[in-house]
Structure 1
C-alpha cells in the first residue's frame, strides 16, 4: 500500500499521519510538548526536540501499518521561528518562536528607523512586528554575542526536519518572506544588502516552494526513523499554510481560518505575481505556499491557549465548560473579554496588550467566562477580517480547520459574530495532513496527481444566525472601544510584569 507520511511540529504538540493514495488516514500519532517562557514576552523551544519527536512519530506510524510503503515524506511546523545552529548543525540557543515572542521590540524600532517604513514595506511587504524574523536574528546578535559568534545556519521546524532527513539546507519562499525584511517579496529572493547587514555570517538557505522535493532520506536518517533510504522529502512550510493546503483554501478569494492554540487567518489575494501583493500596516503580506501566489495573513496570539487557561483555572473539562457556555447564551450575560492574554498580533500589533474582562459581577459563572472567551476570539477574528477587507481583500470563501473545529459551539459563535459562512472539511487534523498531500503530489506519477477536493471534501457548513446580528454588531463596537479605553493602563501593567519577571542577576548566556 503506497502511503505518504506527514509530520507537523506545532506549538503544543507534534502530530503525524500516514495517509494512503486516496487520502485516507491509515495511522496517526501525537507527542505533546510545552514551549518555554523564561521571561515575560519570551517564547522559545529547544529545536532538538523537533527531531526527537519526528523520529518517535515516524517509528510509531510505520509500526502501526507494516504493509505501508512510504513513498514520500511531508514536513511542516510552526513559524516563523528562528533556530540558529553552528557549523555542525547544533543549535546555539533555543529557537525563538513566532509573533507570540515579543522580545525584539528594540530591534524592531531600530531597524524601522534605520531602513524606513516605506522601503521595508516595498521590499518585504509588511511593516516590522513581533512576527518578523529579521529583528529576532538581530536580537541574538546584540544580546547573546557568544551564541551569535557560533551561528552559521538558519532553520525553522520544517527546514530543520528536511535538513536532518536529507542534508539539504533549504527554506521555502513562504517562510523566507516572514524573515522580514531580509526577503524581497516581489523578486522572490533574499534581499542581499539587508541580509549582509543584519545576518552576516549566516549562510543563506537555498529557496524552494513548499511542495518541491528538498532531497531524499539519507542512510543515517533511515536508520533513525525507519523510513526507507532514498524516500523523497518535500521542502515543507509553516503550519498555517500547510493547513490551508489540507483543506484546499489556497485559491484567489479563499480565507483559511485555523483554530488552534493560536488562531491564524490566510487570505489568498492573487494567483498572479505580476498583480503584486496587498499591503496594509496592520497585517502581514507574505509569499504563498505555491509559486506566484501572495497572501494577506493575520493571527491571534491566543485562542485555544485562552480556553485551556480557563479549563485549568476552573478545574473543569471541556465538555462541562461548553455545556455551561451554551447555557450562558449570546453576550455571556453582559461580559466582554479582550483576548490579549499574550499581547496581540494582528490587527492591533500590540505586544503590550493584555487580557481584560469587563462587566464582571458576583453573579457571573465559569460558563459566562468561557462563553466570553469564545466570543472574544470571534470578535478578534472579525477585527482581522474587516481590516483585510478594508485593504482590498476579496474574501469569497471561508474554510475552517484545526482542532477547535471539533467544538460546534465555537464554530457557531465565530459565524454569528463575524456574519460569515464557514465550510468545514471532512478531515480537520490540519498541517500534518496537508504535508502528506504535498508529499503525495510531489511523488505522484504524471497525470495521476491527487486532488485535495477528493481527498478532503466539505462535510459541514456553518451559517450565522441573523437574529444575533444586532447584538454582535453592538458588542464588536464595544470590543474596539474597550481596547482603546484600557490601552494606556494595560501598557503600564505590562511594564510592571516585565520588571517583575526580569532576573535581578544576569542570566548566563546560552553557550
Structure 2
C-alpha cells in the first residue's frame, strides 16, 4: 500500500502521520517537548530537537505499518522562527521563536526608523515590524551575541531545516518568507535585497518555493537517519498554521481558519492584499493567494499553566468543573496576556489579569475564566480583521483544542459565529500529508478532510457575553500603564532591564 508521511513541529510537541493517497489515516505518533525561556521575553529551542523527533517519529510509524510503501514526504513547523546556522546547517545558537519571543523590540524600533517608518515597511512588507517579524531577530543576535552572529551564514525555520536534513536543499516557502519582514517584498514575491542586507547582513538567503512544490528527494543520509526510502520526493513545507489551514480546506476567499493550540492563530483568505498595522498581511501558502492573519500569544498555554498550578490535575476533570462553573465563571474575567499579546494590540509588555477574585472562587471558575478570556481574544481579533477589510464567510476550527465541545462552544457563543468542525483535527502534519499526496496524485482538499459538523452559537448566551466583552475590552486600556511598569520590574529582576 502506498502512503505519505506528514510531519509538523509545534510549540509543545512534534506530530507525524502516515496516510494513504486518499487521506485515510494509517498511524500517528507524537513527541512532546518544551521551549526554553532563559530570560523574560526570550523563547527559543534547539533546532537539533526537530530533526531528532522527526527521525524518532518516522521510525515509530514505519514500525507500526511495515507493509506500507512511503512515496512522498511533507514537513511543516512553527514560525516565523530564526535558526541561525553555519553553511553546513550546524546551529550556532538556539532558534529564536515567533512572536511569543519579544526580545528584539529595540531592534524593531531602530529598523522602523532606518527603513523610512512603519508606513513604508507596511507597503512593501505587508506588515509593520513587531515581535512577530523575523527581521529584527537577526539584528538582536548581531547586537548582543556578535561572536555567534559572525559564525552564522544561513537561517532556517523548522520546516526548512527538516527539508535541508532530508534533501540537502537550502529552501524556504514564500509564505514563511513573507513573515520575515522586512526581508521579503510581498508585491514582487521576492527577497528585497536592500532591506535584507540591512536586517540580516552576511546571511545567505534560501531559494524560494511555494508550499507543496517538490524541492528534492530523500538522500542516502536522510534514509539512514529516518528509515524513509531514499529517492522519494520531499515537498516544500510551510508554517504550521498555514499547513493546518490546508488540512481543512480553509484557503478559499472568505475562509477564516481558527487554530486552537498552545497559542491561538487566525488566517483569513482575501482576494487582494489587506494592509493593517494591527494584523499581518502575508502571501498564502499556495500561489495566487493572500491572507490577513493574526495570533494570540497564549491560549492553551494558559490552561496548561493552570493545570500545573493545580498539581497536574486531569484536563477532563478541569473541563467538567469549568462547565459546572457556568457562563461568566461566577464573576471572573481574565485577560490572556500572559506572554504579552500579539494581535490586535501588539504589546509585548501586556500582562495577564484576573479580575473579580474572591475567596469563594474555585479552580473550575479559574479554568472557565481562561477559556472565556481566550474566546474574548478571538472575538477581538475577528472584529479587527473585519475592520480592515477582511471578509469572513466561514470559520473552520482546527487544532487540539477542538477535541471536546466546551471551549469551541464558548468561542461560538462569545463571537456569535458558527464554526465548521472538520472530520480530522490532527493538525498541520495532516496538511503536509495532503501536499505530499498531491505531489503524487492530486486530490481536492474538501475530499481530503470533509466537514463533520457545524457548531452553532447559542443566541441567549451570546447576548449575555456581550456585556462581559465590553468589560473585557475596557481592561487593557485601563491597566496598560500598570502592566508596563510590572513588565519593567520583571525584566529588571531577570537582569534584562
Structure 1 length-normalised TM? 0.96
Partner of 1:245: 246
Q: For the residues of structure 2 that align with 1:225 and 1:293, how far apart are their CA atoms?
A: 33
Q: Give the C-alpha shift of residue 493 in structure 1.
A: 0.5
Q: For the residues of structure 2 that align with 1:502 and 1:213, how far apart are their CA atoms?
A: 46
Partner of 1:286: 282
Q: For the residues of structure 2 that align with 1:443 and 1:84, how far apart are their CA atoms?
A: 33
**1:319-341 CA deviation, whole Å, 9 max, x = no partner?**
11111111111111111000000
Q: For the residues of structure 1 that align with 2:25 and 2:96, how far apart are their CA atoms?
A: 32
Partner of 1:329: 326
Which residues in structure 2 correspond to 1:108-187 (within 5 Å)? 108-115=108-115, 116-187=117-188
**1:251-306 CA deviation, whole Å, 9 max, x = no partner?**
00000000000010000012xxxx4x001110011110001111100101111100
Q: Give the C-alpha shift of residue 502 in structure 1.
A: 1.7
Q: For the residues of structure 2 that align with 1:138 and 1:477, how far apart are their CA atoms?
A: 40
Partner of 1:352: 349
Shift in CA distance, 287/503, structure 1 to aligned 2, threshold 3 Å: closer
Q: Say which of 467, 480, 483 aligns to 1:487.
A: 480
> Does residue 443 of the first structure (1) align with residue 440 of the second (2)?
yes
Q: For the residues of structure 1 that align with 2:496 and 2:180, how far apart are their CA atoms?
A: 29
Partner of 1:405: 402
Structure 2: tracts of 5 or more residues without a match:
none
Which residues in structure 2 correspond to 1:92-107 (within 5 Å)? 92-107=92-107
Q: Give the C-alpha shift of residue 452 in structure 1.
A: 2.1
Partner of 1:507: none
> Does residue 296 of the first structure (1) align with residue 292 of the second (2)?
yes
Partner of 1:472: 465
Secondary structure at 2:269 match in 1: strand
| Structure 1 stretches of at least 4 aligned residues deviating more than 6 Å after TM superposition | none
Q: For the residues of structure 2 that align with 1:351 and 1:72, how far apart are their CA atoms?
A: 40
Q: For the residues of structure 2 that align with 1:209 and 1:22, how far apart are their CA atoms?
A: 22
Shift in CA distance, 142/243, structure 1 to aligned 2, threshold 3 Å: same
Q: Give the C-alpha shift of residue 503 in structure 1.
A: 7.2
**1:155-205 CA deviation, whole Å, 9 max, x = no partner?**
000000000100111100000000001100011000111111221211110
Q: For the residues of structure 1 that align with 2:119 and 2:488, how far apart are their CA atoms?
A: 30
Q: For the residues of structure 2 that align with 1:68 and 1:263, how far apart are their CA atoms?
A: 35
Q: Give the C-alpha shift of residue 67 in structure 1.
A: 1.0
Secondary structure at 1:6 match in 2: strand
Q: CA RMSD in A?
A: 1.0
Q: Give the C-alpha shift of residue 9 in structure 1.
A: 0.5
Q: Give the C-alpha shift of residue 22 in structure 1.
A: 2.0
Q: For the residues of structure 1 that align with 2:219 and 2:396, how far apart are their CA atoms?
A: 37
Partner of 1:414: 411
Which residues in structure 2 correspond to 1:225-264 (within 5 Å)? 225-264=226-265
Partner of 2:381: 384
Q: Give the C-alpha shift of residue 471 in structure 1.
A: 1.5
> Does residue 307 of the first structure (1) align with residue 309 of the second (2)?
no
Q: Say which of 444, 459, 466 aligns to 2:452.
A: 459
Secondary structure at 1:237 match in 2: coil
Q: For the residues of structure 2 that align with 1:89 and 1:440, how far apart are their CA atoms?
A: 28
Q: How many residues align?
A: 495
**1:229-267 CA deviation, whole Å, 9 max, x = no partner?**
101001100000000000000000000000000010000
Secondary structure at 2:155 match in 1: strand
Shift in CA distance, 328/278, structure 1 to aligned 2, threshold 3 Å: same
Larger deviation: 318-327 or 176-185?
Answer: 318-327
Q: Say which of 401, 423, 428 aligns to 2:425.
A: 428
Partner of 2:225: 224
> Does residue 79 of the first structure (1) align with residue 76 of the second (2)?
no
Which residues in structure 2 correspond to 1:493-504 (within 5 Å)? 493-502=486-495
Secondary structure at 2:439 match in 1: helix
Secondary structure at 2:417 match in 1: coil
